[in-house]
């Protein structure tokens, strides 16, 4: 009779006893260095991780079968505040967190008394880390991962901290790290900057920040201040939109009289403006009045726009119906709505005379892009939000990458949209006609502590400047030489590389590594997880020789990773035997670069792009990554999988309910790399029956 678990245990025990997956340099064999992302040790891993891990393991086993010497290691990520959030929630007896942790611990522990004891111990963050790193390791072993566990570490280990300190000293010495004031996602309760690991369902959301340009249109004795993501379109403005149902204010903003929505005043205060509200009034009171266009001094009417969201940016929008689908359809709606025109005492003839202005030339377009995309997506009115969002995204992307400003744009004539955007912003700010505000792309973000996330301008923030020196040029060179499978994702990397500019790299609290040049800051989780693969090559030697963290001075890493310095001098400075230092250098030189990195597409915009940038910025070209393979996410019964949906399936459940062979076979054959894997119970049972027949 076929007993899957018995067979699997037999072979897993054999692998463990023989240490068959422990890889060492062998000059007679060609090597393959295979990696997948290390898991975050704050909870159990699920089948989404499992797909990435098993695919990576299949690649590793395939390389071994082809005769390669294969290194496939694993470690644990703990940097940032998620673990601290768990500990503080348990300490204050937060029932929601207590119940979540009980459920997690119950996956590996059947005794209710023991579960409670373990959960209560989580008031110590390191108990959280140690528990989940061990249970994740058990889960990875249970699904047949062929890992060299000698090389495991956590990102909070003192040995690893020294490695990251060296990394950031190199980045700073290369001119890639700067200090300044920068917009960041921020939790007011935690009083700390936050990233994807700190935000509820952060791995499922877009956590980028939109930069809006607030343009000051002269109005009465002050300014009406719309905010835009596309200031280069100012030359196509035909009117301004106000939500007639909204509440607006006259406010002194840093001494200037602005008209903005009431909600906007809170936003401006969080970003360092001095705001004094002088008067509140209804938006409808502005309808029918005129402002002056800043680019040509013409009069532009203020019109009613129901689509205007007073809680977004300033609650005021300037209208560019030739190039913005929302503006185009709102203008058409208004021109057709005689009742609304009459209600606001607007002249039908004057409103009908408002026509889109074409300011951006696009090859193949013989009409206004906004009109074409509204028709393409079947937009009928300004209330077709889903269709309008799609039309807007496609239109803006096309114009950004392919558009050329025309003669109506004055000195910006014949400049590409990509080039013109920043030129227009800089000129407007220099002429005191504009300023910036920042808003999360995803609305209503929540910190793991439960507080709503805001954007604030943090003073004296350390950040990585991806445009500094020759960094971006090197990164593109690295990308050009990289094999990406499936090939269709290459453009995703190119797009990310283009918009990457500055990114905060440190926080005021959390687990991890202190900045070596400013110990008031902790390096954040997306910045200390970029070149950790190189640490895999030497950590087992460090542990075997009982090397202390204080011995890992920068000169040691310079010699090992960058081939700089004299080994005798390095040995004397570090008190590490030169034979050990040379062994580490030889091991690194044998295994590096990473031949194959396998992960999911959602990491392109962060982990993977940073992985390439940091390798290009630190290592010589011969150590740059060779190949990245990518997968789409796992969905469950046709639905997106996520904590918020309650349909996460843990690897511990796979071990109990199914079998390793069943899981691996289903994951491997169920979908190609570039396609989402749909976990469907009926199909799984069908695959299970086929496997049993095969063994019978």
- Per DSSP, helices labelled H in 526-574 are 532-544, 554-562, 567-574
Answer yes or no: is 188 within a domain: no
Answer yes or no: is 19 within a domain: yes
Q: Tell me phi and psi for residue 211, to 5 degrees.
A: -100, 115
- Per DSSP, helices labelled H in 293-384 are 325-336, 338-343, 348-352, 369-376
Where residue 369 sits, what CATH number does that domain have?
Answer: 3.90.740.10
In this structure, the answer to whether residues 261 and 117 fall within a common structural domain is no
pLDDT at residue 508 in the model: 86
Angle, alpha carbons 161-148-131 (nearest 5°) = 60
Element (H, E) at 618: helix 609-618
Answer yes or no: is 506 within a domain: no
- Contacts of residue 501, defined as CB under 8 A and 6 or more positions apart, other chains included, come to 465, 466, 467
Cβ-contact 603, 585 below 8 angstroms: no
**How much is the mean pLDDT over the chain?**
93
Annotate 239-272 with DSSP letters as a single string: EEEE-TTSEEEEEEETTEEEEEEHHHHHHHHHTT
- Name the residue among 330, 645, 609 with its Cα closest to residue 478: 609
From CA 512, how far away is CA 196, in angstroms rounded? Answer: 15
Query: What is the pTM for the complete model shown?
Result: 0.82
From CA 24, how far away is CA 371, in angstroms rounded? Answer: 63
From CA 254, how far away is CA 107, in angstroms rounded? Answer: 56
- 3-class SS at 283? helix
Cβ-contact 86, 102 below 8 angstroms: no
- Contacts of residue 149, defined as CB under 8 A and 6 or more positions apart, other chains included, come to 21, 74, 137
* Structural domain span for residue 64: 4-172+529-695
In this structure, the answer to whether residues 16 and 89 fall within a common structural domain is yes
| % the chain with pLDDT above 90 | 80
In this structure, the answer to whether residues 286 and 331 fall within a common structural domain is yes
- pLDDT tens-digit map of 25-54: 999 999 999 999 999 999 999 999 999 999
Using the 3D structure, point to which of 413, 440, 467 is the last residue of a domain: 440
Strands 177-187 and 192-193: antiparallel
pLDDT at residue 229 in the model: 94
Answer yes or no: is 32 within a domain: yes
Using the 3D structure, point to which of 440, 473, 493 is the last residue of a domain: 440
In this structure, the answer to whether residues 19 and 93 fall within a common structural domain is yes
- What is the torsional sign of CA 282, 287, 289, 295? positive
Tell me the pLDDT band of 695, cut-offs 50, 70 and 90: confident
Q: Report the half-sphere exposure of 173 (CA within 13 A, side-chain side).
A: 10
In this structure, the answer to whether residues 248 and 392 fall within a common structural domain is yes
In this structure, the answer to whether residues 349 and 255 fall within a common structural domain is yes
- pLDDT tens-digit map of 424-454: 999 999 999 999 999 988 878 888 777 888 8
Answer yes or no: is 185 within a domain: no
In this structure, the answer to whether residues 276 and 166 fall within a common structural domain is no
Where residue 586 sits, what CATH number does that domain have?
Answer: 3.40.50.620
- 3-class SS at 276? strand
Answer yes or no: is 463 within a domain: no
pLDDT at residue 672 in the model: 87
Tell me the pLDDT band of 480, cut-offs 50, 70 and 90: very high
**Tokens 């502005």 sit at which residue?**
286
- pLDDT tens-digit map of 88-121: 999 999 999 999 999 999 999 999 999 999 999 9
Answer yes or no: is 186 within a domain: no
- Name the residue among 84, 87, 82, 8 with its Cα closest to residue 39: 82
From CA 211, how far away is CA 458, in angstroms rounded? Answer: 15
pLDDT over 90 (residue 136): yes
Cβ-contact 197, 40 below 8 angstroms: yes
Element (H, E) at 461: strand 454-465
In this structure, the answer to whether residues 138 and 241 fall within a common structural domain is no
For residue 516, say if its preceding peptide bond is cis, omega within 30 degrees of 0: no
pLDDT at residue 204 in the model: 67
Annotate 57-70 with DSSP letters as a single string: HHHHHHHHHTT-EE
Strands 596-600 and 31-35: parallel
Answer yes or no: is 457 within a domain: no
Residue burial 638-658, b: 16+ Cβ < 10 Å; e: rest: eeebbeeeeebbbbbebbeeb
Domain count, the chain: 2
In this structure, the answer to whether residues 87 and 224 fall within a common structural domain is no
In this structure, the answer to whether residues 136 and 214 fall within a common structural domain is no
Cβ-contact 34, 68 below 8 angstroms: no
In this structure, the answer to whether residues 535 and 624 fall within a common structural domain is yes
Annotate 21-69 with DSSP letters as a single string: T-----TTS-EEEEE-PPPBTTS--BHHHHHHHHHHHHHHHHHHHTT-E
Using the 3D structure, point to which of 397, 415, 440 is the last residue of a domain: 440
| Least-confidence region, from 143-157, 183-197, 587-601 | 183-197
DSSP state, 486? S
In this structure, the answer to whether residues 327 and 373 fall within a common structural domain is yes
- pLDDT tens-digit map of 524-578: 999 999 999 999 999 999 999 999 999 999 999 999 999 999 999 999 999 999 9
pLDDT at residue 200 in the model: 66
């Amino acid at each position: 009779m076929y007993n899957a678990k018995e067979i699997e245990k037999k072979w897993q025990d054999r692998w463990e006893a023989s240490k068959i997956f422990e890889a060492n340099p062998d000059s007679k064999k060609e090597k393959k260095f295979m990696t997948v992302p290390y898991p975050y040790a704050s909870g159990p891993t699920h089948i989404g991780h499992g797909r990435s891990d098993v695919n990576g393991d299949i690649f590793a086993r395939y390389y071994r079968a082809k005769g390669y010497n294969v290194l496939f290691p694993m470690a644990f990520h703990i940097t940032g505040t998620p673990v601290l959030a768990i500990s503080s929630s348990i300490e204050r007896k937060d029932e929601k967190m207590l119940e979540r942790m009980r459920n997690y611990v119950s996956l590996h522990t059947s005794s209710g008394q023991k579960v409670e004891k373990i959960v209560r111990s989580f008031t110590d963050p390191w108990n959280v880390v140690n528990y989940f790193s061990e249970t994740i390791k058990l889960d990875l072993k249970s699904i047949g991962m062929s890992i060299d566990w000698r090389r495991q570490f956590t990102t909070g280990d003192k040995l690893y901290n020294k490695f990251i300190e060296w990394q950031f000293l190199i980045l700073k010495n290369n001119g890639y790290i700067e200090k300044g004031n920068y917009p960041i996602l921020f939790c007011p309760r935690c009083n700390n900057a936050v990233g994807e690991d700190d935000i509820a369902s952060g791995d499922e959301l877009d956590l980028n920040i939109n930069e809006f340009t607030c343009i000051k249109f002269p109005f009465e004795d002050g300014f009406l201040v719309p905010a835009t993501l596309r200031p280069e379109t100012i030359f196509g403005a035909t009117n301004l939109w106000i939500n007639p149902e909204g509440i607006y204010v006259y406010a002194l903003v840093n001494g200037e009289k602005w008209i903005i929505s009431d909600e906007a005043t809170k936003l401006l205060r969080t970003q360092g403006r001095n705001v004094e509200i002088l008067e509140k009034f209804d938006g409808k009171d502005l309808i029918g009045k005129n402002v002056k266009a800043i680019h040509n001094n013409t009069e532009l009417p203020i019109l009613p726009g129901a689509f205007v969201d007073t809680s977004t940016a300033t609650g005021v929008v300037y209208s560019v119906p030739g190039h913005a689908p929302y503006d185009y359809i709102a203008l058409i709606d208004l021109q057709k709505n005689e009742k609304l025109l009459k209600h606001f005492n607007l002249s039908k003839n004057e409103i009908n005379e408002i026509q889109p202005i074409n300011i951006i030339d696009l090859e193949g377009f013989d009409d206004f892009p906004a009109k074409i995309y509204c028709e393409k997506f079947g937009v009928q009115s300004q209330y077709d939000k889903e269709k309008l969002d799609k039309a807007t995204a496609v239109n803006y992307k096309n114009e950004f990458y392919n558009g050329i400003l025309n003669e109506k744009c004055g000195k910006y004539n014949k400049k590409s949209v990509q080039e013109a955007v920043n030129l227009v912003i800089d000129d407007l700010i220099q002429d005191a006609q504009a300023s910036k505000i920042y808003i999360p792309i995803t609305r209503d973000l929540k910190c793991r502590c439960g507080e709503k996330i805001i954007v604030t301008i943090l003073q004296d923030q350390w950040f990585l400047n991806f445009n500094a020196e020759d960094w971006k040029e090197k990164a593109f060179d690295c990308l050009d030489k990289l094999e990406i499978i499936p090939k269709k994702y290459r453009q995703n990397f190119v797009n990310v590389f283009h918009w990457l500019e500055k990114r905060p790299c440190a926080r005021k609290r959390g687990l991890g590594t202190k900045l070596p040049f400013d110990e008031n800051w902790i390096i954040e989780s997306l910045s200390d997880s970029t070149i950790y693969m190189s640490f895999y090559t030497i950590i087992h030697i460090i542990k075997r020789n009982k090397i202390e963290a204080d011995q890992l001075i920068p000169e040691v890493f310079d010699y090992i990773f960058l081939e700089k310095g004299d080994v005798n001098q390095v040995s004397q400075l570090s008190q590490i035997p030169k034979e050990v230092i040379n062994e580490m250098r030889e091991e690194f030189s044998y295994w590096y670069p990473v031949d194959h990195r396998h992960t999911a597409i959602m990491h392109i915009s962060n982990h993977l792009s940073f992985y390439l940038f940091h390798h290009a910025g630190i290592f010589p070209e011969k150590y740059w990554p060779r190949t990245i393979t990518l997968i789409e996410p796992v969905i469950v019964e046709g639905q997106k999988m996520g904590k918020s949906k309650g349909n996460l399936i843990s690897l511990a459940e796979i071990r109990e309910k199914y079998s390793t062979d069943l899981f691996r076979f289903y994951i491997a054959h169920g979908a190609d790399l570039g396609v989402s894997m749909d976990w469907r119970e009926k199909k799984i049972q069908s695959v299970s029956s086929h496997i049993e027949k095969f063994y019978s």
